[in-house]
Amino acid sequence: MYKPLIIARWELFERIKRKSFIISMIILPLVLTAISLLPSYLIKNSEEYPLTIGVIDLTGDYDKYFIQELSYLKLSNGQPAFLAFNFTHRGIPRKEILRTTDKKVLSNLIIGYVIIENENNLTLTFRSNDIFNPDKLALIKEAFNKTVIRLAEKQGIISRDVSQIISSKMIALDKSFINANSEKDILKSFLNSYLFIILLVTMILFSGGMFVRSLVLEKSNRIIEIILSSCSSRELLLGKVLGLSFFGLFQLALWTFIGIVLHKTNVVDISTLNNLPYQILFFVIGYIFYSSIFIGLGSVINTDQEAQQLTGLLSIFLISPIVLAVEIIRVPNSFMAIFLSYFPFTSVPVMFLRLNSTTPSLYEIVSVISLLLFTFYLIILISSKLFRFGILKTSKRPTFKEIVNWLKIK
């Protein structure tokens, strides 16, 4: 078998068999799931009071019946779930009605309002400035579907038997935000970006830190000399790169599987993530990019203390964009956001933030990825030289001058 593949296989299985890996693969998804479920749990258990909403029926057919159906809905404490007010005004343009009612929402007179329209198809939209409880939206949708069936029965269009069959296939409820830059939208974009950044940091620091510590152990025990007696330093480097990459992809595959399972069971809704394919692409590139840095610098490290300093330094570049997250999400195309997108060491986390609040042009996405890949190529060239000369140097940490001399050697 090809020697680098043998080394890669050993590196992969050696890490997978460790208890720390098994524990992290179980605990981290549970922690992330708990974090994602906690806000929903708090919202669900803090809204045991009637919610004031408005109804605008641009068709003129459903408003009275709909408000009546809403009044039938009760909370667990017996109070009405909604206090619905009819804001339908005949003869007033749609734009004017929405503008007036939007002011009521922004003034906190109502939490939101329902728009009933029938241009080509009957549509139902809930307009608010809040990330509304999905359970409450489901109640509104159910009440309107009952209204449609009730009105159809009254007009003799359908019978009760038919209405029971089609009741589950009625009108869907869309959501619309009054202010796209509201604080709740910014919070939502921040949390979505934060999820990817934390996953990337965890994977890099866990797998990269494990790689550096094992390399330090191999150097201190002189095991590396035995390994190099049967392969070249280039083959060893390639094998460790492949092993670390396979290990990271294995982690990503497991977490992706867990995410799909949670999404299918409606525990986590990944549909709220914007530009998901691009985010996954940047996630993979970011992992490979930072892993290559670990491989190069890890070869010149001799102690666990130095390894911890290295992981801490790299984590700063990954986490630092969170400090500017609100500003980047609010103005995703500002000079600062674009500059940090093209700076390789902050490019990936900043792109996570921007992709959750806007969609950069295809040219910009391609150019950022190209710059990352070019930088990755340069880092691999540098890492190969550092690995070649630093792998056997165990007496002391090389000076900056020595490292420069290594890089000059062809």
> Comparing 132 with 241, which gets the higher pLDDT?
241
Contact 316, 344 (CB under 8 A): no
Sign of CA dihedral 212, 214, 218, 224: negative
H/E segment holding residue 144: helix 134-154
Q: Residue 28 has what pLDDT?
A: 65
Contact 319, 232 (CB under 8 A): no
Q: Give the span between the Cα atoms of 379 and 28, in whole angstroms.
A: 30
Within 10 Å of residue 164's Cβ, how many Cβ atoms? Answer: 11
Q: Residue 35 has what pLDDT?
A: 61
pLDDT of 126 higher than 70: yes
Q: Domains of the chain (ranges plus CATH)?
A: 3-40+184-408 (no CATH), 47-180 (3.40.190)
Which class for 206: exposed (0-12), middle (13-18), buried (19 or more C-beta within 10 A)? buried
Cβ contacts of 223 within 8 Å, gap of 6 or more: 217
Q: What is the pLDDT of residues 4-18, one digit of tens each?
A: 888 888 878 877 777
Q: Which residue has the tokens 């258990």?
A: 45
DSSP state of 170: S
Mean pLDDT across the stretch 110-128?
Answer: 85
Q: Residue 366 has what pLDDT?
A: 92
Q: Give the span between the Cα atoms of 66 and 57, in whole angstroms.
A: 9
pLDDT of 161 higher than 60: no
Question: C-alpha distances in angstroms, 56 versus 83, 92, 393?
Answer: 14, 12, 76
pLDDT of 275 higher than 80: no
Q: Mean pLDDT over all residues of the chain?
A: 76
Cα Rg, the chain, nearest whole Å? 29
Q: Residue 168 has what pLDDT?
A: 44
Each as own residue / partner, the long-range contacts of residues 30-34 (CB below 8 Å, 24 or more positions apart, any chain) are 32/195, 32/198, 32/199, 33/262, 33/267, 33/268
Q: What is the pLDDT of residues 254-266, one digit of tens each?
A: 777 766 666 555 5
| Separation of CA 5 from chain center | 33
> Comparing 78 with 70, which gets the higher pLDDT?
70
pTM: 0.57
Question: Crossing angle of helices 362-390/335-342, nearest 10°?
Answer: 40
Q: Give the span between the Cα atoms of 231 and 377, in whole angstroms.
A: 23
